[in-house]
Amino acid sequence: MEFNKAQNIIGIKVLSDNVIWLWEKDKSVVVIDPSVHEPVLKYIDENNLYLKAILQTHHHSDHIGGTKYLIEKWPNVKVIASSKDKKRIPFQNISVEDGEILNILGEEVKIIEVLGHTSTHIAFFLNGKNPILFIGDTLFSGGCGRIFEGTYQQMYSSLERIKSLPKNTLIYCAHEYTKANLLWALNLKPEDQNIKNKLLHVEKKLSFNELTIPFLLDEEMKINLFLRAKNLEEFAFLRANKDLWV
Ligand SMILES: [Zn+2]
């Protein structure tokens, strides 16, 4: 188990490359996409926390796998998920839509629909002085989610939506894929100094067993080829190219 303390959000690395985020405030905690339950319960117990809510970005099992066990232990927990996916996220008890604003741990949290990876994927945006985005599998550092259910156009529009957020938004994605993504990007743009510098920085972090996420939108726009794509065609070329990259 690895931790990355940034503000009051802690990342627990689980499975091969998933990261579960725990957002803490005044002894309450909100969990984002619990793929598994044991390390989450352990952290809650060790720190004497109260589990208030579970935020689900989409239905994949490596995002909701731990939820039913957390509900068994915390029957009053709020499970917040897309109203369009009640079948595949059946334990949701607060169903939300694009643009809806909730109050979670005293903060305004806006729901942003980001389709493409799945047909109902949502993100959670905290628009404070230091904005925060829980983006699930739509954007990764150096990469973006595979298009499993949506279209290239949907994913491209989702990335455009992310790019329109404040540049100082700190982005929390659900997988530690950064190094592999950067190696792919460098294969396409071998002379790109921004990507080279980022890879060095990432390798250093990994050598200390640290997470390479969260990441700042502003910096990400310099090194992420998907965010740099100037039009849908360029984006589609990159996505198809990345799908074939092993
Ligand atoms: Zn997924």
* CATH code of 199's domain: 3.60.15.10
For 15-28, write each residue's pLDDT tens digit. 999 999 999 999 99
Instruction: Give 170's strand partners.
Output: 132, 216
**Confidence category of residue 128, pLDDT binned at 50, 70, 90:** confident
DSSP string, 30-89: EEE--S-SHHHHHHHHHTT-EEEEEE-S---HHHHTTHHHHHHH-TT-EEEEEGGGTTTS
What is the model's pLDDT at position 7?
A: 57
Angle, helix 193-207 to helix 178-188, in steps of 10 degrees: 150
Rounded to 5°, the CA angle 118-122-128 comes to 155
Distance 2 CA to ligand 1 centre (A): 21
C-alpha 48 – ligand 1 centre gap (Å): 30
Q: What is the pLDDT of residue 2?
A: 41
CA dihedral 235, 241, 242, 246 (to 10 degrees): 180
pTM of the predicted protein model: 0.95
- The secondary element (H helix, E strand) that includes residue 27 is none
Query: Distance from the CA of 35 to the center of ligand 1, in angstroms?
Result: 11
Ligand 1 centroid distance, CA of 29 (Å): 23
pLDDT at 30: 98
Q: How far is the CA of 117 from the centre of ligand 1 (A)?
A: 7
137 alpha carbon – ligand 1 mean position (Å): 5
Mean pLDDT over 80-91 rounds to: 98
Whether the pLDDT of residue 96 is over 80: the answer is: yes
**What is the residue range of 21's domain?**
5-244
pLDDT at residue 184, as a whole number: 98
> Which H/E stretch holds residue 118?
none
Find the 60 Cα to ligand 1 centroid distance in Å: 5
- Mean pLDDT, the chain, integer: 95
Question: Is residue 4 pLDDT above 50, yes or no?
Answer: no
| SS3 (DSSP) at 209 | coil
Rounded to whole angstroms, the Cα distance separating 64 from 15 reads 13
Count up the domains in the chain and report the number. 1
Compute φ and ψ for 145, nearest 5 degrees: -70, 155
Average pLDDT over residues 144-164: 97
Residue 182 has pLDDT above 90, yes or no: yes
